[in-house]
Amino acid sequence: MSPPTDSSQPATYAAVAAAAPPPPNTSTDHTNNNNDAAHPANPSESEPLLGRPGDAVQKPNAPMIRNLWLGTGWLALAGCVILLAEIWASVFTHPTLPLVSPHPLLQSLGAVTLIQAILVLQPTGATPESKILGQRAHATLMVLALLLFVGGVSVIETNKHVNNMPHFHSAHGVLGFIGAVLFLGQYVFGVLMWAVPGVLGGEQKAKALWKYHRYSGYGLLIVLLLALLSAAETDYVHKVLGVNVWIVAAAVLLIAVGVFPRIQLRKLGIQRSQ
C-alpha cells in the first residue's frame, strides 16, 4: 500500500519559489555600492550648510592640507591672500612707525592664521584619526594666532599709553576688544574640552559641549571679519596707508563665502528632514 500523497505540495513549493528574491545581479549590485559610497545612507551626516552631502568632508587617507581648499575653501584662501597683499603692501610702501606699523601686520596675519585653523578642521570626521589630526592642527594654529594677536595688541596699547591716546574711540577699537574677549574665552573653552575634559564633568559631557564651541567660534569669526572691515576705515589705515576699503571688503566677503557654506550641520547638532 503506497503512502498517501499531499496534492497541495507542488502548489506550496511554487508559492515559495515565487516569493523568493531573484539571484543578485553582479553589475547592479556594483553600481548600487558605488552610489552608496557617493551618497551616504544618512545624507545629513555629511551635509554642509550649502551644497551636496559629502562636498566638504575629508576623504579617508586624504592629506590634511587639502582641507584648506576643499569645497568652497579656496574662496576663503583667495580672500586671505588678497587681504594680506593689500595690508602688507600698504604698510611697507609707507614710512614705518615702530609703535603703529606692526599692529596691522600682526593682526592681519593673526586673522588669516585663525581662518586656516577653521578651514583645516571643518572637513574632518571621516575617521577617528582624521579627527585627532584635525584637532591637533587646529590647536597649533590657534596658539599661533593667539601669539600674533597678543603681539599686535601689545604694540597698539603701548602706542596709546606712550602718546596718551584714548581707547575705544572707533568702531574698530570696540570690535577689537569684543573679539579679544571672545577669543580668550573660546581658547580656554577649547583647551578644557580637548586637553582636560574632566574639568567639565568627563569626556562624554565635554563632547556634548563641542557644538557650543563651534557656534561661538563662528560668532567670533563674524566679529573678526567686521573688525577687519572697520580697520580699513580708521584714520591711519585709510588716510595714511591708503588701504582700499573696497579691496578689504571683497576679501572679507570671499572669506565668509568660503568658510560658512562648509559648515557641517551635524557638528552643530542640526539634522535636516529627509
Q: Per-residue pLDDT tens for 46-76?
A: 556 555 555 678 888 889 999 999 999 999 9
Percent of the chain clearing pLDDT 90 (strictly above):
57
One-letter amino acid at 82 equals I
75 occurs within a structural domain: yes
pLDDT above 50 for 32: no
In the chain, the amino acid numbered 130 is S
253 occurs within a structural domain: yes
Q: Identity (one letter) of the amino acid at 43?
A: P
CATH number, domain with residue 118: 1.20.120.1770
User: Would you tell me how many other CB atoms lie within 10 Å of the CB of residue 254?
Assistant: 21
Residues 6+ apart with CB under 8 A from 119: 67, 68, 73, 76, 77, 258, 259, 262
pLDDT higher than threshold 50 for residue 24: no
C-alpha cell at 64: 590634511
For residue 159, the enclosing domain spans 33-268
9 is a domain residue = no
**Stretch among 9-13, 152-156, 246-250, 265-269 having the lowest mean pLDDT:** 9-13
Statement: residue 36 has pLDDT above 90: no
Contact 13, 223 (CB under 8 A): no
Residue 22 exposure: Cα atoms within 13 Å on the Cβ side: 5
CA dist 13 and 118 (Å) reads: 63
In a domain, 4, yes or no: no
What gap in Å lies between CA 77 and CA 258, rounded to an integer?
8
Distance CA(148)–CA(154), nearest Å, equals 10
**117 close to 68: Cβ distance less than 8 angstroms:** no
26 pLDDT more than 70:
no
Whether pLDDT at 187 is above 70: yes
- 23, part of any domain: no
Q: Is residue 197 part of a domain?
A: yes
Q: Is residue 146 part of a domain?
A: yes
- As separate numbers, helices (DSSP H) first and strands (DSSP E) second, the chain gives 9, 0
pLDDT (tens digit per residue) in 104-141: 999 999 999 999 999 999 998 768 888 889 999 999 99
**Measured between alpha carbons, how far is 81 from 255 in angstroms, rounded to an integer?**
10
Which is nearest to 149 in space by CA: 78, 79, 255, 223?
A: 223
Selection from 141, 12, 176 nearest residue 64 by Cα: 141
274 lies in some domain: no
What pLDDT is attached to residue 264?
86
User: What's the total number of domains in the chain?
Assistant: 1
Q: How many CB atoms lie within 10 A of CB 132?
A: 11
Task: Report the mean per-residue pLDDT for the chain.
Answer: 83
